[in-house]
């Protein structure tokens, strides 16, 4: 590959901003990439800062996803426990099925749903 600005010279790398080939004379080393001397230095530096910022955000997002898994599991366990309590109190009167029994069944079903949801997201 040839330098964009000096077609008689070999390029040593590409500009981080515009992607053009650069020779040693035209390239500015920004530690994390090269830039066109006098043309793309500010843009390339802004791009490097943006990439660094996104890397930091991705670790924050990873922690948030991990915390949401804990919340989902906690919600599932809460609903299972509440469902069991409703069933116990509702079934104390064996003569008829009442609203409390149906609420217990609903809570248990919802708790199972939350636990399955937490399990699904923990595999990612």
Average pLDDT for 110-119: 82
Band the pLDDT of 124: cuts 50, 70, 90.
low
pTM: 0.47
In which residue are the tokens 């809460």 written?
78
Q: What is the domain partition of the chain in residue ranges?
A: 40-122
Assess contact for 26 and 6: CB atoms under 8 A.
Answer: yes
Structure tokens at 85: 């309590």
- Distance from CA of residue 40 to its chain's centroid? 31
116 pLDDT above the threshold of 60: yes
Assess contact for 5 and 22: CB atoms under 8 A.
Answer: yes
Q: Give the chain's mean pLDDT.
A: 82
Query: pLDDT tens digits, residue range 24-61?
Result: 998 998 888 889 898 888 988 888 888 888 877 777 76
Structure tokens at 50: 């943006």
Higher pLDDT, 112 or 120: 112
Tell me the C-alpha distance between 65 and 63, whole Å: 5
Neighbours of 105 (CB within 10 A): 15
């Amino acid at each position: 590959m040839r330098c964009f600005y000096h077609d008689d010279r070999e390029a040593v790398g590409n500009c981080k901003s515009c992607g053009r080939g650069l020779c040693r004379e035209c390239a500015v080393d920004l530690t994390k990439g090269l830039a066109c001397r006098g043309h793309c230095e500010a843009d390339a530096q802004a791009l490097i800062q943006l990439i660094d910022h996104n890397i930091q955000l991705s670790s924050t997002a990873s922690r948030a996803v991990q915390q949401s898994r804990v919340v989902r599991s906690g919600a599932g366990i809460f609903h299972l426990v509440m469902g069991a309590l409703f069933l116990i109190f509702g079934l104390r009167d064996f003569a008829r099925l009442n609203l409390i029994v149906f609420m217990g069944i609903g809570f248990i079903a919802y708790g199972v749903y939350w636990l399955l949801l937490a399990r699904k997201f923990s595999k990612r």
